[in-house]
Structure 1
Amino acid sequence: MKNLLKYIILSVLICGNVSTVMAQYGKQKKADALYNSFSFVKAIETYKEMLANNYNSNYAKRRLGDSYMMLRDPENASLYYKDVVTQPNIDPEYYLNYALSLRALKKYDESAIWLNKYKETGVVDSRIQKIMEDENFISNIYQVKQQYFSKPVPFNSELSDFGAYEKNGVVTFASSRDKGVGIKRTYTWNQQPFLDLFQVKHDGDNYTEANKIEGDVNTKFHEGQVTVSKDGKTMFFTRNNYLGSKKGKDANGTNNLKIYRATLDKDNKWTDIKELPFNNNNYSVGHPSLSADGKTLYFASDMPGGKGKSDIYKVSVNGDSYGKPENLGDKINTEGNELFPFVHNDGNLFFSSDGLQGLGQLDIFTTVLDDNGNIQEIINLGMPVNSPMDDFSFFLNDAGDTGYISSNREGGMGDDDIYGFDRIPLFSVRGTVTDAINHQPIKDAKIVIKDKDGIQIADLVTDEKGKYKMNIDRETTYTIEASHMKYQPEPSKIADSRNSKGKNEIVVDFELDPVQDVDILADVNIDNIYFDFDKQNIRNDAAVELDKIAEMMLVTYPSMEIEIGSHTDSRGSFKYNEALGIRRANSTYEYLVSRGINPNRIKKHEGFGEYNLVNDCKDGVDCSETAHQLNRRSVFKVLSMQRMAEK
């Protein structure tokens, strides 16, 4: 992003007439003036002249290294930094700069030497700590299973192109191409034309020719990064501080970035340009990304009070009203640059950073959220999304299967280039568990999934329709088991995701045979019976349930055999509660026998006291009477049964 980083991080200075400066001062003053006005290409030429004349060479080398780093050219930067770090009394920041330039060139061992050198100076910098905390970071990230596959797009130019954003089959992006410009105006940073917004129509693998966006968005200065509302009628975009033919500057004459809003009119032109109220002449605000519900706008800024050089913020949006910008905090923001936020419709935030562990310069990261939307982890997207160079402007479509990034990596067509990517679709195993007799779905059947080594990796239960589904890895084999307390377990089955090219799922169904030790009581909606505190007598509500059981055993299932287990709450001693549980089991048994049930069909009636509590109402825990009541119960288990034959 040779023409971009300073543009997006801090500010853009529209260079004035430097001829007076060149005449008044010597080469160093000339070079410094060019450097300070971000005219790095011309500054490099002048600093090299200083070196050729052996004038203030150490200073010239420092500035040359810095200039090349600002142009995102680590190869040339490292050549000069190599000498700079040997200079006496050098600012420790140059140890870091040299380390980062080496890192961008994949010279990780050398980079580590200078990172340690930087750390040994006593500087406190969380970026270094994060890089050094995981010695295997680089090797690990290269081994991450690839989820994205990059592909070329046909609308790049030989100049800078970045920030692709797609909505309703139209891709909007920023470009330095000078198509349609009568007078070619160049940006002093890198001698390229100023950025404008362009659009192409996209259908499958086909793209139309790129044309400038219609309406009032483009001006004679920079326009960049856009985001569009869900209904496609409102666009937020980045532009230099310029509105109504008036250019704004800070006290130093710097023309910073601001976010503007445009509205799509009936002729499909973007008009009615308005500046957002939290912009400021004294710092930059840019890279807008609107949440799916349109209520939150994310952006990057170097406003005072941030964590580092550029931080990511969010602000609430309510029509034409905006809240107070909120810094996203140090889980995301570092002492470095955090830029180009993109919030997906599922709520995940993607952004670029050179302060988090990466492969080189700017890398793209994503957040991992918990059920409440809180950030739990930051993940580097790995290759090929990231490279040793700058990677930024991530966009992912609503379906999550295709998108765009921007990068100045090797092999591109121009300066910054846009790359499309396809994300490997999630692969899943799904199926249905049914009753082998009546073919009805079985709810709450337990599904256990094991890897090829027999280690359980997940378990889940079927839904109301007997269905289950889980994401698994491709090119792997799994063992799947299905079971239910009322059914005989079916032999395990193999789920093989190998050779699944063109498929996103495999289906593994189960049919389970009913067994005779079924809990029939649940089928006829018979509940456990309950007892009063410190009592074993059968209450009226319990008698109703026991009468149902007796009728079922006498009429519907004349050969059914059961067991009875009775329990208490935790109040009282263990010994006392064991005896009370036995008395409750006896009461339950005697009631059923009194209703005509053959005692031989009640194979066991046991009291367990307080050993099998159904909740956390243990000794010393303050529980309500309702909670204690759940533990004072008799439960039933069917051992065998056979329905009365129909006549």
Structure 2
Amino acid sequence: MKIKNYILVCIIILLSFNSFSQQGKQKKADTLFNKFSFVKAAEVYKDLIQNNYNKEYATRQLADCYAFLRDPKNASRYYKSVVNQENVPVEYYYKYAQSLRGIKKYDESQIWLERYKDSGGVVNANDFSKDINFITSVFGAKQQYFLDRVHFNSKFSDFGAIEYDGKVYFTSARDEGVGIKRLYGWNEQPFLDVYVTDAKSKSNVDHTGKIKGDINSMYHDGPVAITKDGKTMYFSRNNFNKDIETKDRKGLTNMKIYRATLVDGLWTNIEDLSINGDEFSTQHPALNIDDTELYFTSDRPGTKGGSDIWKIEILPDGNLGSLKNLGDVINTANAEGFPFINNESVLFFSSDGHTGLGLLDIFGTIKGDDDEFVDVINLGVPVNSNKDDFSFTMNSNGITGYFASNRTGGRGSDDIYAYHRELVLHVEGVVTDAINVKPIPNAKITLFDDNNQQIAYMLTDEKGYYQINIDRNKDYKIVASQEKYIDDYRNFSSKNLQTELKTITANLILNPVHDVVKLAELNTIYFDYDKHNIREDAALELDKIINLMTNDYPEMVIRIESHTDSRGKLSYNDKLSIDRANSTYDYLISHGIAPERITEHEGFGERRLTNGCEDESDCEEKDHQLNRRTQFIVVKME
């Protein structure tokens, strides 16, 4: 019994020791996790899982580690196990859906997103679930961006490239150190520094390519933004200034944006900005086109998601003015960052909360007439992928630029990609009436290729305007048609055009079709002998003309010509015909026809007889009646 008891006690002690050991490992893993040392934390969590200690919790934490490390393949592997746990928090359904997006399993991702919603999870209004055809539409869209080779990537993280005055400034973790290696716990890579190289250089950049001056510190530095005059730089850095590191209440060192000036070729005079704080991060600086606004990323109080994009006014004296969150169109319940404003004042940014292809995607923005943001546009492939795509910038030419991605096929964890754009080309114009030179709304515009095959059509707007996107290096014919007009067409070509050209103009002019049936309604009216009053039968004909001019041809312009028969003196008949013209004119005007639509109302007396009933001729009354008339001549019509 004593031996058995001894063995039992030993087993209990060993189990207790092992339990304490595993408990210590979990505490270690959680500490590493909370310090954002995800690489090291993941290794300890895997060890806990292998030893079956608090396995469900360790699996959740391990999956989160891979999600933070932007490794959707491994994240989805462990989330798949997590979502089958009993009483698992519903947010893991969403995390699993996101990781599946990252490995292009879009249909399966949609299933888990729906399950998240059905379980009470709140899906951001901008989530990709709003458009089940999004993936198809993005991959089917016409390619506008084309990738070019970059020579200065390293095996570590490289991003944040901007081009200024023939040089490229970028952020990199490539400095491994000579004696002492300092590694960032999150991803076990060296800390970030700012580098510069010639834009046309085809050689790589080593540690000697670091920017000169006081920008780079012993912690993270970059990315940067440079003012148009090249004298001021805004840059991200850990909360470290004048050799002092400041941590928040959780023991973390947040990011700040600092300002430096160029003095004798060195970036110096480092200035801590008023937008910074010790308890939140402020980073990713970007400037608008006239350097009067600073855009940035922050998780400060008032942030809607993990991080939002904000802006603040830069006053003439360098001080900062009013602060503004860019709002719900831009910011979501997830993370937004890396803003950039091009020369046309278009904001670009990265987000994992808007409709995307994977993790972080790059988006452009659309503004309305009041200069407020109204929508965002996914830039599509090849700029975006199923991984993280971020730090998009565009050079002043509007054609070339850079972005970063951790997609498969790169050299390091994050790589810089150069691109050039083939701008969307479109044909546009205005369709006008040949008579009155007014725009024609709802005219049908049909576009044909060089084989006379119809490839597009649309209707003009209320201003007669149309616009159709076309391909470059093609021949086209465009035709305008409308029910009351004769068709017009133009042949044009998009061959051999400058890359910067975005618009071909093809205005079209339509001539009215003279509707014989309708114009037949402009009947001649007749008068009694020696009278100029409007008879009842004449009034009926005039009413038809009024209806025609009001409803069918609202732009029609006419001329009135009145006549007499040959009986009576010539001078008397001249006056009588004028009276008849005046009576006709007054009737039309009194019934709503605008005076400017009747160019003339003249009397010609007996000078234009329609038959041979001249003086002394033997004509019956019915023949004389044919000469006592008023006729209507169309001058202009729709």
TM-score with structure 1 length normalisation? 0.71
| Residues 48-57 or 90-99, more deviating | 48-57
Task: Say which of 131, 137, 148 aligns to 1:140.
Answer: 137
Inter-partner Cα distance in structure 2 for 1:589 and 1:227: 80
Deviations 1:239-271 (A, max 9, x none): 000111111111122110000111112x22211
- Aligned twin of 1:406: 404
- Aligned twin of 1:230: 228
Following TM superposition, by how much is the alpha carbon of 1:598 offset from its aligned partner in structure 2, in angstroms? Answer: 9.4
- Aligned twin of 2:300: 303
Inter-partner Cα distance in structure 1 for 2:376 and 2:354: 9
Following TM superposition, by how much is the alpha carbon of 1:184 offset from its aligned partner in structure 2, in angstroms? Answer: 2.5
Inter-partner Cα distance in structure 2 for 1:512 and 1:182: 77
Inter-partner Cα distance in structure 1 for 2:319 and 2:68: 37
SS in 2 for 1:26: helix
Q: Superposed, which structure 2 residues align to 1:203-218 within 5 Å?
A: 203=200, 209=205, 211-218=209-216
Following TM superposition, by how much is the alpha carbon of 1:143 offset from its aligned partner in structure 2, in angstroms? Answer: 1.2
Does the 8 Å contact 2:430/2:466 carry over to 1?
Answer: no
Inter-partner Cα distance in structure 1 for 2:148 and 2:222: 23
- Aligned twin of 1:634: 596
- Aligned twin of 2:336: 338
Inter-partner Cα distance in structure 1 for 2:488 and 2:257: 62
- Aligned twin of 1:562: none
- Aligned twin of 2:446: 450
- Aligned twin of 1:474: 471
TM-score with structure 2 length normalisation? 0.72
Does the 8 Å contact 2:425/2:471 carry over to 1?
Answer: yes
Inter-partner Cα distance in structure 2 for 1:444 and 1:182: 79
Deviations 1:179-209 (A, max 9, x none): 7766321111111110000011114x85774
- Code of the residue aligned with 1:297 in structure 2: it is L
Following TM superposition, by how much is the alpha carbon of 1:125 offset from its aligned partner in structure 2, in angstroms? Answer: 3.0
Inter-partner Cα distance in structure 1 for 2:506 and 2:110: 53
Does the 8 Å contact 2:224/2:233 carry over to 1?
Answer: yes
Inter-partner Cα distance in structure 2 for 1:506 and 1:239: 43
Q: Which aligned runs of 4 or more in structure 1 are off by greater than 6 angstroms?
A: 22-25, 430-433, 442-448, 459-462, 468-471, 498-503, 505-515, 585-590, 597-602, 638-641
- Aligned twin of 2:588: 607
Structure 1's 353 and 608: CA in aligned 2 closer, same or farther, altered over 3 A?
farther
Q: How many residues align?
A: 521
Does the 8 Å contact 2:254/2:280 carry over to 1?
Answer: yes
Q: Superposed, which structure 2 residues align to 1:142-221 within 5 Å?
A: 142-178=139-175, 183-203=180-200, 209=205, 211-221=209-219
Does the 8 Å contact 2:559/2:634 carry over to 1?
Answer: no
Gaps of 5+ in 2: 1-19, 449-453, 515-545, 551-557, 564-572, 601-632
Match status 1:396 vs 2:394: yes
Structure 1's 27 and 610: CA in aligned 2 closer, same or farther, altered over 3 A?
farther
Gaps of 5+ in 1: 1-21, 434-441, 463-467, 518-567, 569-573, 578-584, 613-631, 642-647
Does the 8 Å contact 2:446/2:480 carry over to 1?
Answer: no
Does the 8 Å contact 2:561/2:581 carry over to 1?
Answer: no
- Aligned twin of 2:77: 79
Structure 1's 331 and 308: CA in aligned 2 closer, same or farther, altered over 3 A?
same
- Aligned twin of 1:527: none
- Aligned twin of 1:371: 369
Inter-partner Cα distance in structure 1 for 2:574 and 2:374: 61
- Code of the residue aligned with 2:166 in structure 1: it is G
| Residues 118-127 or 254-263, more deviating | 118-127
Following TM superposition, by how much is the alpha carbon of 1:444 offset from its aligned partner in structure 2, in angstroms? Answer: 8.2
Q: Superposed, which structure 2 residues align to 1:455-604 within 5 Å?
A: 455-456=457-458, 458=460, 472-474=469-471, 478-480=476-478, 492-497=489-494, 504=501
Following TM superposition, by how much is the alpha carbon of 1:39 offset from its aligned partner in structure 2, in angstroms? Answer: 1.1
Structure 1's 184 and 218: CA in aligned 2 closer, same or farther, altered over 3 A?
same
Task: Say which of 302, 312, 317 aligns to 1:315.
Answer: 312
Structure 1's 588 and 134: CA in aligned 2 closer, same or farther, altered over 3 A?
same
Deviations 1:356-379 (A, max 9, x none): 110010011111112331212211
RMSD of the alignment, in Å? 4.4
SS in 1 for 2:70: coil
- Code of the residue aligned with 1:450 in structure 2: it is T
Deviations 1:137-182 (A, max 9, x none): 1111111211111122111001000011111111111000017766
Structure 1's 83 and 482: CA in aligned 2 closer, same or farther, altered over 3 A?
closer
- Code of the residue aligned with 1:323 in structure 2: it is G
- Aligned twin of 2:42: 44
Inter-partner Cα distance in structure 2 for 1:503 and 1:171: 22
Following TM superposition, by how much is the alpha carbon of 1:455 offset from its aligned partner in structure 2, in angstroms? Answer: 2.8
Following TM superposition, by how much is the alpha carbon of 1:443 offset from its aligned partner in structure 2, in angstroms? Answer: 9.4
Task: Say which of 281, 284, 287 aligns to 2:281.
Answer: 284
- Aligned twin of 1:248: 246
Inter-partner Cα distance in structure 1 for 2:500 and 2:299: 46
Inter-partner Cα distance in structure 2 for 1:117 and 1:377: 27
Following TM superposition, by how much is the alpha carbon of 1:313 offset from its aligned partner in structure 2, in angstroms? Answer: 0.6
Deviations 1:471-515 (A, max 9, x none): 7321566534699xxxx9895222344797979579788999999
Structure 1's 32 and 144: CA in aligned 2 closer, same or farther, altered over 3 A?
same
- Code of the residue aligned with 1:404 in structure 2: it is Y
Task: Say which of 92, 98, 101 aligns to 1:100.
Answer: 98
Deviations 1:77-110 (A, max 9, x none): 1111111111111111111111110111111111
Following TM superposition, by how much is the alpha carbon of 1:426 offset from its aligned partner in structure 2, in angstroms? Answer: 3.7
Does the 8 Å contact 1:430/1:505 carry over to 2?
Answer: no
- Aligned twin of 1:119: 117
| Residues 320-329 or 355-364, more deviating | 320-329
